[in-house]
Amino acid sequence: MSQEPSAATSEETVTFADLGLRPELTKALSALGYEEPTPIQREAIGPLLAGRDLLGQAATGTGKTAAFALPVLQHWADSADGRTSVDPTALILVPTRELAVQVSEAVHRYGRDLGVRVLPIYGGQPIGRQLQTLRRGVDVVVATPGRALDHIGRGTLQLASLRTVVLDEADEMLDMGFAEDIEAILQETPDSRQTVLFSATMPSRVEGLVKRYLRDAARIQMGRATQAPGESPKVRQSAYVVARAHKPAALGRVLDVEAPTAAIVFCRTREEVDQLTETMNGRGYRAEALHGGMSQEQRDRVMGRLRAGTADLLVATDVAARGLDIEQLTHVINYDVPSAPEAYVHRIGRVGRAGREGVAVTLAEPREHRMLKAIERVTRQRITMEKIPSVADLHARRLEMTRAAIHESLLEDELDRFRVVVESLADEYDIVEVALAAVKVAHEAMGNAPDDEVIPDIAEPVERRERPGQGDGRARGGSRGPAAGAVKLFIGLGRRNGIRPQDLVGAIAGEAGLPGRDIGAIEIADRFSLVEVPAEAADDVIEALRTATIKGKRVSARRDRDRDREAAPRRQRW
């Protein structure tokens, strides 16, 4: 993803050699195909080589690993002659096991010609192997905070020789509950250390770390991605409004139309991850679950299948997916709208990296429409509202994929060995009919026919419920019974359950697909609520609410019985 260079960045092409890096490092970078530094590398490497502390605000995918790893390696090489200590000179703290492995591999690749010794240490790996390597001697340690603190407590990770400490993805580490571990580790490091902190966001907790542990730090902030006039954005963002009951079918349709190389689907809970993974596998997709309830061995197997291409859909929670960098990832799908704009930014930042194009799709329930608008305001980026692909759209897409596959075969494949089949059939049938039959066979071989489940359109997401006397001045409430053509439904949740009118409207619109404008008066008592709906929709609403929850509680719904409720506590009407 391209970044805005700071005002100090020269318009002339800058090479890694221009930044003062050793020949061994520039040679390794050249062999890896790195032609010139990214903006964050141009800004960070100079101050770090000079020994300054540094605070960098930049998202994953901007090249920040090389920005801190190259100076770490240069410092080590400059002081390696005559160094006899087996203890590390650099400690890099990262939030997850996956990121520890990735950063360790990157440091090893950059420093291969220097002979640097790098060790990743993290939970879920046999500690005996880590102990043995630490005893033999390590130059750079890349660690998760918990396992680093464990080794410090055992006395197997000595920090007296540290020259540099790097906190990578600091906001993620704090979000995952590592604040106390990080502070305990930093207090064990020499006062003379160089401290480097990178974070995608700068909440107050990160600023607190900066104030306590960084001294006279150089500050670097990469601006938002920009596009040249007429250039399409690197991440195409869209959303579909769909009732919860129809989300699995809607997800399948979106996947069929988008045809991702690899995709992550984000869910809120472990239970939802497991349930959706099972559902999508039942629908013919190659889905794998990833959440915090899995062992490290299970996580490794899942990532191996995804990288090997034997799975193409990863269903994950936010915490489990932190630190993942999957090169072939093309799509991020929010199965629910994230509760905070920052979480949305983190999620979609996993695609569209290094100049590649990516797609971010959100499946929003009607009640989540406000949250989408809040995300647009914070990110200042448009999220295009789309209609769920129809069955006709899926048929057209599959036919186009068949045509593309045949076209590619005509251009690239050796077809002569099939000529005898075509010529023998052409003696009996018209050649066009032979071609049509071949296309049919190829088309059906590409997968099952799309489902014909009806997914109702939700044309008008409800954002608020007017009280009597507001808006157009008409009172929507009343206690004289339902309006003409409407019936009252009894909902077994009320004021004691924290129920508000918007909760009822959102549940009915989201679960039953009934537009908010068709919902009439709402009365909320302490233990129950009454809602007017069109008579012809009443049974559908009752059926849909049977499997729904409101405020985390199961719903009992039925047609209201005209019994006397005068003894009931006073009701609020809308």
For 353-408, the pLDDT digits (tens) are: 655 678 999 999 887 877 888 788 777 788 888 888 877 777 777 777 777 778 77
CATH 3.30.70.330 in the chain, residue ranges: 486-573
| Mean pLDDT, rounded, for 526-553 | 84
Q: Which residue has the higher pLDDT, 61 or 405?
A: 405
pLDDT at residue 1 tops 60: no
566 pLDDT more than 70: no
Is the pLDDT assigned to residue 348 strictly greater than 50? Answer: yes
Q: What is the pLDDT confidence band of residue 467, given thresholds at 50, 70 and 90?
A: very low
More confident residue, 390 or 93: 93
Superfamily for domain range 486-573: RRM (RNA recognition motif) domain (3.30.70.330)
pLDDT given at position 300: 82
What value does the mean pLDDT take over residues 121-136? 86
Query: Using an 8 Å Cβ cutoff, are 298 and 350 in contact?
Result: no
Residue 464 has a pLDDT of 35
As a whole number of Å, the end-to-end CA separation of the chain is 49
Does 478 score more than 50 pLDDT?
A: no
Give the residue from 258, 518, 234 showing the smallest Cα distance to 388.
258
pLDDT number for residue 44: 94
Q: Which of 189-203, 457-471, 536-550 has the lowest mean pLDDT?
A: 457-471
| Residues carrying CATH 3.40.50.300, the chain | 17-221, 235-388
Least confident of 1-10, 457-466, 542-551: 1-10
pLDDT at 233: 46
The CATH topology of domain 17-221 is Rossmann fold (3.40.50)
Q: What is the pLDDT of residue 80?
A: 60
> Which pTM does this prediction carry?
0.49
Residues with Cβ within 8 Å of residue 469, at least 6 apart in sequence: 475
pLDDT score recorded for residue 3: 38
**pLDDT tier for residue 139 given thresholds of 50, 70 and 90:** very high
pLDDT, position 84: 57
pLDDT of residue 228: 41
Q: Is the pLDDT of residue 83 over 70?
A: no
Q: How far is CA 70 from CA 93, 110, 389, in A?
A: 16, 7, 47
Q: How confident is the model at residue 318 (pLDDT cuts 50, 70, 90)?
A: confident
At 57, is the secondary structure helix, strand, or coil? strand
Among 335, 347, 359, CA closest to 269:
335
Flag whether pLDDT at 34 surpasses 50: yes
Q: Token pair 């007429």 is at which residue?
A: 230
pLDDT tens column, 101-115: 889 999 999 998 898
> For residue 487, is pLDDT > 60?
yes
Q: How much is the pLDDT for 8?
A: 39
* DSSP letters spanning 401-449: HHHHHHHHHHHHS--GGGHHHHHHHHTTS-HHHHHHHHHHHHHHHT-PP
In this structure, of 3-12, 197-206, 296-305, the range with the lowest mean pLDDT score is 3-12
The answer to whether the CB of 287 falls within 8 A of the CB of 277 is yes
Q: Which of 108, 117, 26, 14 is nearest to 69 (CA)?
A: 108
- Top pLDDT among 186 and 401 is at 186
- Specify the CATH class of 235-388 in words: alpha beta
Q: Which of 2-6, 322-326, 342-346, 395-399 holds the top average pLDDT?
A: 342-346
